[in-house]
Structure 1
Amino acid sequence: MDIRKTIEQREEKTLSPHACLSKNSKGRQRESKSCSIRTVFQHDRDRILHSKSFRRLKYKTQVFLSPEGDHYRTRLTHTLEVSQVARTIARALCLNEDLTEAIALGHDLGHTPFGHAGERVLHELVPGGFHHVRQSLRVVDILEKDGEGLNLTYEVRDGILKHSKGQGGLLTPDPDSAAVTLEGQVVRLADIIAYVSHDLDDAIRGGVIAEDDVPKEISQVVGLKHSRRIDCMVRDLISASLQRETSIGLSDEMDEAIRALRSWLYDHVYRIDRVHQDFVRASHLLRELFLYFIDNEETFLLHGGRRLKGDSLEISVADFIAGMTDRFALSLYDKLFLPHPWRVL
């Protein structure tokens, strides 16, 4: 029995006419034998989930650097929350949940240690710049499996590449910048829904701000408590998208409120001294590692760095540093730059 074909037939009968059907995928970069149990998007999800890059997200900063408490988000828990939000939306809109989940699980695989501080350092140092979105695609295309990559489908790769909105608008007016599938568009908005809510939640837990500090004109629209915020934003997105049919979006009121909340978080959480100073120190650490490895290639290779054919040393070092967890970067810096007591035999 070919279970995959049964699932594909079920998709054709039950999903929205605007959903991306597994059987209609544009395929992979390299030919690969089809699985008799899983659709191509299920297979992609599993390849991402079992990758080394995915496991390393557990020890990468989301907002708070190496927090002592066990309840603060990491890059991994952020990814899982994005996946949950995105799947809820996809199911409500009768879109392909497997494609949505695969994009969500892979969207941040290229993120650096120490959050966006690490990204900014590499952007300054690497010729041509650095962005975690492009790096995420590089991870799945090239770096995983010792240079073979994961050989994902076109639709998952496109969704990963186009998931980020930076500090710009939540929705892009440029069709070339939007994901080609509605599932990819869902992940783009699920990402910001997840992080503006859980970053606010962590900031309150950490005593950086108080719950009542959030301007009432924002909290009245998006909600005051974490669960309420997620519920409000997800319900709004589903309702607005059902009216649009062929694109994913938000009501004007919710779009404005989320953008206002994001701006408020930059001013009152991300850029305040208590948070920012840790990232200044982390930036110094990563900069020193990068410059040291550029001048000491043998040491770079000794500690796990890798040169791929055709890549400059700068690109190879950037790949190595971007793949580090926070704790590995701290440990390596300690080993290379800090004095240690002699062992007396």
Structure 2
Amino acid sequence: MWARPWPRPSASVPWRQARASGTRSLRGPEGGRKDIERRKEKREQEVKGPVASDSARQRWEKNEARLLSPYAQLSSRSRGRQREEEECPIRPAFQHDRDRILHSKAFRRLIHKTQVFLSPWGDHYRTRLTHTLEVSQIGRTIARGLRLNEDLAEAIALGHDLGHTPFGHAGEDVLDEILADGFCHQEQSLRVVEVLENNGAGLNLTLEVRDGIRKHSKGRGDFLVAADEDGPLTLEGEAIRAADVIAYVNHDLDDALRAGLVRAEEIPAECRRVLGETHSRRIHTMVSDLLAQSQDRPHLLMSEEVHRATLLLRDFLYERVYLHPLTIQEMKKATGVLRELFSYFIRNLEEVPEEIRRINAGGPAERAVADFLAGMTDRYALTTYERLFLPQPWMIF
């Protein structure tokens, strides 16, 4: 069967070695003030002021070393890319990664992929692209508040959902059921940047960005990383994992209120009391609390009260929005569309784009079809289904 895309044998630094040499090797009782002072001393020994011969990138890297937190991931200390390449004289490594993601085809397709509501007619409902931009904004705010690397946080945020299927998590569930090795959008997002983009060459991103993309979600599990958990390598990766949840629980609630699925007074009283009564106040409370609790710490924290209210709000959304009978009804239609398309393209593999067949040459047909379907937008999937399975009008002259 097809191999999971992580870790890739072409990576310049082995995964285990990278993990062992991670920036944040000290957690729990070994962290704290002594750890911070040790990091500061090491940083001061390495940093020299900019000189006239420095490139724009080198000047930026030295500024990072002077200004960022001891727990931040410096661009100059990246563990490397999948393939070695000449460094850009202007952009640091993570800014370069962000730009590559921003200009990718997969990023452009996010505008026509579902967040929660399938093909909504209203102009103001979220899509997978607007969700990504909101995660990026919240993630950058967290990074700035903790003096972390904003470029790294933004790159992870912009890439975290590139592998998401059409029709949201309904599409993900279909492929997970069909494929023998399962399917999850985190690993598909990684596959997009490592394999599928750029005609099979991938985007050649840094290990830190790829790691953050892969570990940005834990489903309905706790979004805060436990001290003994194999979480993201960087604190920036943790920031985006938190930003993802903060973004979707708030904007999905906003869309649900707009759609009439829930009323404001039905939001749990504890959530309204602790987090606030408005969309902006809830985001402000979550982000401010996380920043206050996480200063000079090796991983992110929230106060017990705000953390509990955030998880309660997420549970409320699952019960009243994601698992609402109307939502389930539409999702069943969407899963039916994808099942029919999968079955058709397995029987007619020659109709899968040549580029995808070439990338998957020698592998199972199911993998090629899954890559094709996962890359579809909602409207492309519906248009393809209509072309293949519904009668077309005849042109009579």
Structure 2 match to 1:328: 380
Rounded to whole Å, the distance in 2 between the matches of 1:108 and 1:118 is 13
Moved more, 166-175 or 134-143: 166-175
Secondary structure of 2:334 counterpart: helix
Structure 2 match to 1:261: 313
Rounded to whole Å, the distance in 2 between the matches of 1:318 and 1:175 is 34
Which amino acid in 2 is paired with 1:133?
Q
1:59 to 93, 105, 112: 112
1:171 matched to 2:224? The reply is yes
| Runs ≥4 residues deviating over 4 A | none
2:234 to 141, 163, 181: 181
Rounded to whole Å, the distance in 2 between the matches of 1:329 and 1:246 is 43
8 Å contact kept, 1:306–1:320: no
Instruction: Tell me by how many angstroms 1:311 deviates.
Output: 2.6
Instruction: Tell me by how many angstroms 1:305 deviates.
Output: 5.1
Rounded to whole Å, the distance in 1 between the matches of 2:384 and 2:66 is 54
8 Å contact kept, 1:170–1:255: no
1:4 matched to 2:57? The reply is yes
1:148 matched to 2:201? The reply is yes
Rounded to whole Å, the distance in 1 between the matches of 2:195 and 2:228 is 27
8 Å contact kept, 2:225–2:299: no
Query: CA deviation digits over 1:200-236, x for unaligned, max 9?
Result: 0000011111111101112111212110011000001
Which amino acid in 2 is paired with 1:159?
G
**Do the aligned partners of residues 75 and 85 (structure 1) sit closer, same or farther apart at CA in structure 2, a change above 3 Å counting?**
same
Rounded to whole Å, the distance in 2 between the matches of 1:344 and 1:333 is 24
Structure 2 match to 1:271: 323
Query: CA deviation digits over 1:156-211, x for unaligned, max 9?
Result: 00100110020112224364531010000000000000000000000001111111
1:313 matched to 2:365? The reply is yes
Structure 2 match to 1:94: 147
Which amino acid in 2 is paired with 1:322?
A
Q: Let me know the Cα RMSD of the aligned residues.
A: 1.3
Rounded to whole Å, the distance in 1 between the matches of 2:309 and 2:81 is 39
Rounded to whole Å, the distance in 2 between the matches of 1:237 and 1:209 is 27
Instruction: Tell me by how many angstroms 1:53 deviates.
Output: 0.3
Query: CA deviation digits over 1:10-64, x for unaligned, max 9?
Result: 0011001110000000010101111000000000000000000000000000011
TM-score (norm 2): 0.84
Instruction: Tell me by how many angstroms 1:251 deviates.
Output: 1.1
Rounded to whole Å, the distance in 2 between the matches of 1:318 and 1:63 is 21
Structure with greater Cα Rg: 2
8 Å contact kept, 1:141–1:150: yes
Structure 2 match to 1:211: 264
Residue correspondence of structure 1 range 1-345 to structure 2 within 5 A: 2-173=55-226, 175=228, 177-242=230-295, 245-301=297-353, 306-308=357-359, 309-345=361-397
Secondary structure of 1:202 counterpart: helix
Which amino acid in 2 is paired with 1:224?
E
Rounded to whole Å, the distance in 1 between the matches of 2:182 and 2:152 is 29
8 Å contact kept, 2:250–2:283: yes
Secondary structure of 1:27 counterpart: coil
Secondary structure of 1:192 counterpart: helix
Which amino acid in 1 is paired with 2:140?
R
8 Å contact kept, 1:170–1:259: no
8 Å contact kept, 1:121–1:283: yes
Moved more, 212-221 or 37-46: 212-221
Unaligned runs of 5+ in 1: none
Which amino acid in 1 is paired with 2:128?
R
Query: CA deviation digits over 1:118-151, x for unaligned, max 9?
Result: 0000000112000000000000000001100000
Identity %: 58
Secondary structure of 2:90 counterpart: coil
